[in-house]
Structure 1
């Protein structure tokens, strides 16, 4: 199959998945257990996307300035810095490491 057919199938499945959400009873959505599960899934998805974007380069694993940027941002979070400071710490660390030759 061509790429366009797969793209259209993915769009249709995404639309149907979103449409199915409208048919979920409200009583199920107000359940505290369901809120906890949804929150946990969101955290897991964000963590996995962060790691994949940090160490993946195509289909291989690479350790470059992105790992240092993630470490600097993690340290800033651990020190309870505001979000803007966390972003600036990560960006500054990445810029510094790239300047030193860590592509």
Structure 2
């Protein structure tokens, strides 16, 4: 399979999935289970993206300074810090660990 064939197949699949989403009857989307699931889906996807970015390097799992930043951010969020403060604390802690240890 050539690269262009794969790209066109992926584009066709993406279009078909989007079209299927528009063709779902509205009454199916009003079911309480579907509403609960769709409300939680963005949070789950964001958490998965954060874990992949913070704990992987190419095709392997790693534990480095990025995980310290994620931990500090989680703690700051639990303490209800403003979002800008959370981001700054995470960045500063990651940079600090890298500077002090050369880790990651």
TM-score of the alignment, normalized to the shorter chain, above 0.5: yes
Name the counterpart of 1:26: 26
SS in 1 for 2:87: helix
Map of 1:5-84 to 2, 5 A cutoff?
A: 5-84=5-84
Structure 2: runs of 5 or more not aligned:
none
When the two structures are superposed, what TM-score results if normalisation uses the length of structure 1? 0.89
Aligned length: 103
Gapped runs of 5+ residues in structure 1? none
Alignment pair present for 1:102 and 2:103:
yes
CA RMSD in angstroms, aligned pairs only: 1.4
What is the DSSP-based 3-state SS (H/G/I as helix, E as strand, rest coil) of the residue aligned with 1:22? helix
Q: CA offsets, 1:42-82, max 9 Å, x none?
A: 22222111111111101111111111110110110111111
Q: Counterparts of 1:88 and 1:3 in 2: how far apart (Å)? A: 41
- Larger deviation, residues 38-47 vs 12-21: 38-47
